[in-house]
Structure 1
Amino acid sequence: MSFKTDIEIAREAKKKPIMEIGANLGIPSEHLLPYGHDKAKVSQEFINSLDTREDGKLILVTAINPTPAGEGKTTTTVGLGDGLNKIGKNAVICIREASLGPNFGMKGGAAGGGYAQVVPMEEMNLHFTGDFHAITSAHNLLSAMIDNHIYWGNALEIDARRVVWRRVMDMNDRALRDTVTSLGGVANGFPRQTGFDITVASEVMAILCLAKDLEDLQSRLGDIVVAYTRERTPIYCRDIKADGAMTVLLKDAMQPNLVQTLENNPAFVHGGPFANIAHGCNSVIATRTALKLGDYVVTEAGFGADLGAEKFMNIKCRKAGIAPSAVVLVATVRAMKMNGGVAKADLGAENVEAVQKGCPNLGRHIANIKSFGVPVVVGINHFHSDTEAEIAAVQAYVAEQGAEAIVCKHWAHGSAGTEELAKKVVEMADSGSANFAPLYPDDMPLFEKVETIAKRIYHADAVIADKSVRAQLKTWEEQGYGHFPICMAKTQYSFSTDPNLRGAPTGHSVPVREVRLSAGAGFIVVICGEIMTMPGLPRTPAAENIRIGDAGHVEGLF
């Protein structure tokens, strides 16, 4: 059986002019800044005019821990948005922008798949409207200004050994994880050890995704702690006087991007922090704008619910003053079999026993989501190799957990494949049964917040951290950062910090390697296990198969 590739399907899309998509949402053309005919940014002036409108209902799409078998969270997000519109609801989709790192690495793009995609696919997965370039430039402008300040006399008395602001680029490049800069003599400054993170791990990315407007953006940028003096006094971005110029570089990037699905329904695609090394949600400004324009807003959180959904609830909802009315938890029969011990090469053969053995991973995510007080439904993202017996096994297991599992065939059939899920989501969201509450209060001590996530979400026995880590958290509490939420940087493949430990492990511990203060974003990053804030490319990167074809089209993107 042969199927069209995602890029082939996207290329055949019958797109409407973006001004028409905007008009259907009630956005006047003068408030849309077009980037070609099929994408546009929405003006801050128009967004400000929506303040008095009531919010629609927010639907979060999350997933089990990702496996090489693929789960299809973004595909389900798009399919559900289309399905809601198909059953007559005014629904808007909100997803993240794609990073070039995974596009050219292993994961691929972030526009959905099959007949549940956001278009234009090629542009979205490449340079799009330039937001990531703007974030990279703003971040590295600050890096340059820090070193420049030290070079020209260092009036702030920055201790060059305590510069904590690294550089970034939007590419997987392990060679840049640890570097030495300013070699070559006096003219090049003072040599020091530093390194690069990927752009999606930048605090500037997090700030852009949490800021409500340009004024808030500049204030948050100014709050970034970039270095310390010998006496451990913090030096802020505003001390370097970089916040104004950084805001100028980010002026257009702050405006949400409007595009459309294959079925011509509206989608905001804005911001792109990873969920394993950042907070994993699209921008607050895009989500809040969508909530003012749609009766239902479908958004996603990165990777599994232990990362993306946890951060969506504890960071994004807390900071933005929003709350989900329902959650869709995406799972696949194939992933259940992998969690049950089946090798990827053997996933095509029916194996009900392996499905049942792998379901505890799904069960733990269901219980975790319920602990936030939000109703959950499981969306089984259907693959053609799934058998009736395997699907029935998943549905029976989910029923035992007090939830419902609905088969979704949006990849093959678009909105026609998600009507049942859409009706269930409307039923849950309109029932008023959500009683959302974050996992921990603002005033809980920082290390206790880390322990709360580790024990209640990961089901770990303990958190292992050096005395220096605990002392650093105490220092930040004394400096007034104790109310910050926690952003865990952890492998996406397991509830534990061991990527090979599938299923629903217990009896494990969470080792904390490092903690970083994101004073502008307003959270503490806790780096666990072997997680890297600058990923590397795989042995055979996707880039090897990406090229311009004979017809002048991009080929190999997925």
Structure 2
Amino acid sequence: MATRKLHCVWPVPADIDIAQSVDAQPITSIAEAAGILLSELSPYGSTRAKVKLSVLKRLEGCPNGKYVVVAGMNPTPLGEGKSTTTIGLAQALGAHLHRRCFACIRQPSQGPTFGIKGGAAGGGYSQVIPMEDFNLHGTGDIHAITAANNLLAAALDTRIFHERTQDDAALYRRLTDELKTFTPIMQKRLDKLGIRKTDPKSLTEEERVCFARLDVDPGTISWRRVTDVNDRFLRDIEIGMGKAEKGISRRTGFDISVASEVMAILALVDDLADMRQRLGAIQVAKSKTGASVTAEDVGCAGAMAVLMKDAVEPTLMQTLEGTPVLVHAGPFGNIAHGNSSVVADRIALKLAGADGFVLTEAGFGADMGCEKFFNIKCRTSGLKPDAAVLVATVRALKYHGGVEPKDAAKENADALRAGLSNLVRHIQNIRKFGVPVVVALNRFSTDTEAELALVKELATQEGDAADVVVTDHWSKGGAGAVGLAQALIRVTETAPSNFQLLYPSNASLKEKIETVCREIYGAAGVEYLNDTEEKLADFEKMGYGDFPVCMAKTQYSFSHNPELRGAPTGFTVPIRDVRVNCGAKFVFPLLGDISTMPGLPTRPAYYNIDIDCETGRIVGLS
């Protein structure tokens, strides 16, 4: 692969200054070195390009590379550097050890970018570039998701409006006027109803009513509008208040775009046809007789697929050292399944070849993104991981041991030992899936040798980690992660993975929920609130019992309570609500108080971001 040599300086400059100091290689050069044909690229400027899914057909018989998931401990206010580690390790493998290596990461949401977290391009000398393009609009995939999601929301409310304001004859006439045969979209609705006719004039009166009226029960509508901004004032709103809507109003709300089922679908599909089918299967409500109402019934699944036709292709970018990165999809790890796309991983695995590596990052802590990587993403794709890299820091471990952020730089063996319970449980959890674990211990200048030694000792002895490696890739780029890369190569060659799922698909939905709560979170029990048990039983009767579960909970703790640090035990997990994502094909339990629309803090990141109007240079983005 065509790589470039970094010239690292100390103190390490701001992320954006480092990113803007490096001239990105033409994306065609990155593609050529990665084995992608120019005919398989759709460039967006000179530094980004969509990769056509036809590359998979060309490489169909090629062996896969080593498949490695990068996960982390429960995140803290201090930051652990998981994205930075993913990029630094990719640079070490590709630019320093000359292995074919691809990093597969998610497209960041603008919510966190302008909110409390900032961007997700990595940091220091381990970044994706151009970081401005990566952190902001990318190639527009999230905008496409927003448009497709909101088209469905508008179509549903419009259909309810027209059904309430027209009689049967007028409604059917306006739906089919001037049609000699039903459209393919309409034919799907007829097929569902068991009506085998193609001429609109041939339907009986009863068939016309069944076709034209979805008869939606407004109280069952589950589909919400989305926007890619943290906006707390859209969480609970009332729509239809204008005079033209004739009093047809209802309460609803907005979610953040990356929480949309459309995003989850994008991350799990195999190809365009699979995406089209899954979009049509989205359940938006029930009829007054209890029948499922889907996007296909509403009639806009085809239009949604048209909006998403380019979004189904991954985006090729590069690291600071010129190694390839595939950016695709961005579901949150706490309110969705938290992983980049299956198609990006498949493409990377074929391009990497038998001796190469694919690093795919899982969102938030390993109890969230990594558990869902195994139980949802790998279950769906059939791909089997060869190893896991688990990212930790000494100061984050001390935080989980009870130390406040302001004191985390001080040496404190007792707090470190207590906080190591968090790391050890994550290692043990990953080992339950039969996957070997290498711990990446990100070094900070305040870490002492005694602290680093203690982490190594307990992570290997109590957690059964295959290795623990101290890394410096933030300040040194790929050179600072060479030891980690060598350990990963050694582990994949000498400690083969025996990957297994945590629960079988034919287990009951309650068994799946309780298995995750017990085996991954360390819970003593589960409490089903409201009507959640009845809903789960209904899901099974409707044929969704073989779906995996995608738990929505806080990322800050193993438990549902963000205040419980370390590795808590003895708690009971409250299941507040359960939903089903029929297109993404998972059941979605909500644990405790979890919001699908984040808010902004008192001092959001946008206070730091501006543009130099003379040069067009972006400043303050992190």
Alpha-carbon distance in 1 for matches of 2:328, 2:542: 32
Quick one: structure 1 residues 466 and 354, their matched pair in 2 at CA, closer, same or farther if it must change by over 3 Å?
closer
After TM superposition, the structure 1 = structure 2 runs for residues 278-293 of structure 1, keeping only pairs within 5 Å, are 278-293=336-351
Report what 1:134 is aligned to.
144
Displacement after TM superposition at 1:488 (Å):
0.3
Alpha-carbon distance in 1 for matches of 2:373, 2:80: 19
Worse overlay, 27-36 or 394-403: 394-403
C-alpha deviations, 1:343-401, integer Å up to 9, x for none? 21122222222211211000100100000000001100111221212111111211222
Q: Is the 8 A contact 1:40 1:258 kept in 2?
A: yes
Q: Does 1:29 align with 2:90?
A: no
Report what 1:57 is aligned to.
66
C-alpha deviations, 1:134-169, integer Å up to 9, x for none? 000000000010011111126211112221111111
Report what 1:414 is aligned to.
477
Q: Does 1:303 align with 2:361?
A: no
Q: Is the 8 A contact 2:227 2:254 kept in 1?
A: yes
C-alpha deviations, 1:246-280, integer Å up to 9, x for none? 00000111110000000000000110000000000
Structure 1, unaligned runs of 5 or more: none
Alpha-carbon distance in 1 for matches of 2:497, 2:486: 17
Report what 1:466 is aligned to.
529
Which of residues 99, 102, 107 is equivalent to 1:92? 102
Report what 2:549 is aligned to.
486
Q: Does 1:427 align with 2:490?
A: yes
Report what 2:309 is aligned to.
251
Alpha-carbon distance in 2 for matches of 1:126, 1:119: 12
Displacement after TM superposition at 1:2 (Å):
4.2
Report what 2:292 is aligned to.
234
Alpha-carbon distance in 1 for matches of 2:568, 2:444: 27
Which of residues 552, 555, 558 is equivalent to 2:619? 555
Q: Is the 8 A contact 1:373 1:435 kept in 2?
A: yes
Structure 2 letter corresponding to 1:462: G
Worse overlay, 416-425 or 312-321: 416-425
Report what 1:183 is aligned to.
241
Structure 2 letter corresponding to 1:416: A
C-alpha deviations, 1:234-254, integer Å up to 9, x for none? 101101111100000001111
Worse overlay, 280-289 or 146-155: 146-155
Alpha-carbon distance in 2 for matches of 1:163, 1:345: 46
Q: Is the 8 A contact 1:147 1:189 kept in 2?
A: no
Displacement after TM superposition at 1:508 (Å):
0.7
C-alpha deviations, 1:407-428, integer Å up to 9, x for none? 0110011111111111111112
C-alpha deviations, 1:20-60, integer Å up to 9, x for none? 10001111112111111111001122233222222111011
Report what 1:167 is aligned to.
225
After TM superposition, the structure 1 = structure 2 runs for residues 64-463 of structure 1, keeping only pairs within 5 Å, are 64-85=73-94, 86-153=96-163, 155-187=213-245, 190-294=248-352, 295-401=356-462, 402-403=464-465, 404-431=467-494, 433-463=496-526
Worse overlay, 534-543 or 450-459: 534-543
Quick one: structure 1 residues 61 and 316, their matched pair in 2 at CA, closer, same or farther if it must change by over 3 Å?
same
Alpha-carbon distance in 2 for matches of 1:522, 1:379: 33
Worse overlay, 362-371 or 388-397: 388-397
% of aligned pairs identical? 50
C-alpha deviations, 1:206-261, integer Å up to 9, x for none? 00111111110010000000111112211011011111000000011111000000
Which of residues 3, 7, 10 is equivalent to 2:19? 10
Q: Is the 8 A contact 1:325 1:428 kept in 2?
A: no
Q: Is the 8 A contact 2:529 2:574 kept in 1?
A: no
Alpha-carbon distance in 2 for matches of 1:452, 1:249: 38
Alpha-carbon distance in 2 for matches of 1:322, 1:359: 31
Which 4+ residue blocks in structure 1 deviate beyond 3 angstroms?
A: 186-189, 549-552
Alpha-carbon distance in 2 for matches of 1:225, 1:304: 30
Structure 1 letter corresponding to 2:448: T
Q: Is the 8 A contact 1:166 1:195 kept in 2?
A: yes
Higher radius of gyration, 1 or 2? 2
2:550 aligned counterpart, secondary structure? strand
1:354 aligned counterpart, secondary structure? helix
Displacement after TM superposition at 1:467 (Å):
5.6
Q: Is the 8 A contact 1:398 1:405 kept in 2?
A: yes
Displacement after TM superposition at 1:188 (Å):
5.9
Q: Is the 8 A contact 1:409 1:417 kept in 2?
A: yes
Q: Is the 8 A contact 2:529 2:577 kept in 1?
A: no
Alpha-carbon distance in 1 for matches of 2:559, 2:158: 42
2:325 aligned counterpart, secondary structure? strand
TM-score computed with the length of structure 1 as normaliser: 0.98
Displacement after TM superposition at 1:196 (Å):
0.7
2:128 aligned counterpart, secondary structure? strand
Displacement after TM superposition at 1:552 (Å):
3.3
Alpha-carbon distance in 1 for matches of 2:430, 2:512: 17
TM-score computed with the length of structure 2 as normaliser: 0.88
Structure 2, unaligned runs of 5 or more: 1-9, 165-212
Q: Does 1:48 align with 2:57?
A: yes
Q: Is the 8 A contact 2:473 2:480 kept in 1?
A: yes
Alpha-carbon distance in 2 for matches of 1:471, 1:172: 33
Displacement after TM superposition at 1:456 (Å):
0.4
Quick one: structure 1 residues 264 and 222, their matched pair in 2 at CA, closer, same or farther if it must change by over 3 Å?
same
Quick one: structure 1 residues 189 and 122, their matched pair in 2 at CA, closer, same or farther if it must change by over 3 Å?
farther
Alpha-carbon distance in 2 for matches of 1:189, 1:223: 30
Alpha-carbon distance in 2 for matches of 1:293, 1:255: 15
